[in-house]
Amino acid sequence: MDINQIQYFLAIVETGGFTKAADNLFISQPSLSVSIKKLERELGVTLLERGSRRTLLTPAGENFLETAKKILKLYQNALNDLSDFRIKPVLRLGVLRTLRIEDLAKMITMFREKCPKAIIEIRDGTVQDINNWLEQGYVDLIITELANLEDGDISLILFKQDFLLAVPKNHPFTSKDEITLTELENQPFIGRTQCEIWGQAPKIFKAEGIDPQVIYLADREEWAISMVQFGLGITIMPVWKGLSNIVYIPIAGLNLSRTVGLKWRTSQNSELIKQFRLFAARYSWSGI
């Protein structure tokens, strides 16, 4: 049950029919009917009798009517009570799941010091996830991987990262200046399922005729980092500065990198969004 269903039910009762209620609600009659049927299924009763001229309440509908009015009133009271909170600026930020939480948290903390009244809502996901959220209006800005031909009016480069092989500091590979892909054969390997290059990995390995021993599939950066640090496996990942117990080694013939930046919609011109864009552009990404 959601508040729209309650409002739809009351509109039908008030207007006496689905057609007039749909017109008043600015929705299609089929959509209204589907919503009411879903409400009736959830409640386990029939609320309305569909007549040729007028829709009537069933006994169950009569009983539910007062409850529905109370629910709507409570909802409206809650909105009024929260009106003070709505004047606080809110920034909805989508971020790559393959960013380190520590780096992101530091950056947002420093931004909050400059804009202490701002509320920052964060959603993390894949490149596709957060780009979809931006297009659908679920977030205002995203920190994502940028393609080569991004529109400069709605995007901003923040930093670039190389992808190298990450191994624990006591691994035999640390004595090498670089390794070959074939040397990864039979090595315990940590797959990074949300990584932007993970989709390419099977093709890269197959081309070299190797089949790494994948011991774990990590969907967050911290999991992959920790597993390498404790010697459970190796992985190909972005270069992060200051990681203890990890050594990065180039892979011969494999040049992988990503460009990370901000993206926003052309209509996103609020003062808070402008401030965040300016701050992010000047921020020193020390962990990169």
Q: Please determine, for residue 66, whether its predicted confidence score (pLDDT) is greater than 80.
A: yes
Q: Is 22 inside a domain boundary?
A: yes
Residues 247 and 105 in one domain: no
Cα–Cα distance, 222 to 105 (Å, whole number):
13
Residues 101 and 210 in one domain: no
155-168 and 141-145 strand pairing? unpaired
- Look-up: residue for tokens 């390995």? 205
Residues 131 and 15 in one domain: no
Chain segment 27-48, per-residue pLDDT in tens? 888 888 999 999 999 989 999 9
Residues 109 and 23 in one domain: no
- Which of 51, 83, 115 corresponds to the end of one domain? 83
The pLDDT value recorded for residue 84 is 57
Share of the chain above pLDDT 70, in %: 96
* Structural domain span for residue 52: 3-83
Token code pair at residue 52: 């040729």
Q: Span 256-281, mean pLDDT?
A: 88
Residues 171 and 195 in one domain: yes
- Which of 83, 113, 139 corresponds to the end of one domain? 83
In DSSP terms, which residues pair with 123 in a beta bridge? Answer: 94
Q: Is 173 inside a domain boundary?
A: yes
Q: Is 240 inside a domain boundary?
A: yes
DSSP secondary structure letter of residue 88: S
Task: Give φ, ψ of 124 to 5 degrees.
Answer: -115, 150
Q: Please determine, for residue 85, whether its predicted confidence score (pLDDT) is greater than 60.
A: no
The CATH number covering residue 50 comes to: 1.10.10.10
- Give the 3-state secondary structure of residue 267: coil
Q: Which residue has the higher pLDDT, 80 or 22?
A: 22
Residues 247 and 269 in one domain: no
Residue in 175, 160, 184, 159 with CA at minimum distance from that of residue 253? 184
User: Of 36-40, 187-191, 244-248, 268-272, where does the model show the most confidence?
Assistant: 244-248
Cα–Cα distance, 150 to 130 (Å, whole number):
16
The CATH number covering residue 107 comes to: 3.40.190.10
Residues 189 and 214 in one domain: yes
Cα–Cα distance, 113 to 70 (Å, whole number):
42
Residues 155 and 192 in one domain: no
Residues 130 and 200 in one domain: no
Total of domains in the chain: 3
Cα–Cα distance, 261 to 263 (Å, whole number):
7
**Structural contact between residues 249 and 226, judged by C-beta atoms closer than 8 angstroms:** no
- Which of 47, 67, 83 corresponds to the end of one domain? 83
Q: Is 288 inside a domain boundary?
A: no
Q: Specify the pTM.
A: 0.65
Q: Please determine, for residue 51, whether its predicted confidence score (pLDDT) is greater than 80.
A: no
Confidence of residue 148 (pLDDT cuts 50, 70, 90): confident
The CATH number covering residue 222 comes to: 3.40.190.290
Residues 183 and 237 in one domain: yes
Residues 17 and 139 in one domain: no
Chain segment 239-256, per-residue pLDDT in tens? 998 899 999 999 998 888
The pLDDT value recorded for residue 238 is 92
Residues 254 and 164 in one domain: yes
Q: Please determine, for residue 287, whether its predicted confidence score (pLDDT) is greater than 80.
A: no
Lowest mean pLDDT among 120-134, 191-205, 268-282: 191-205
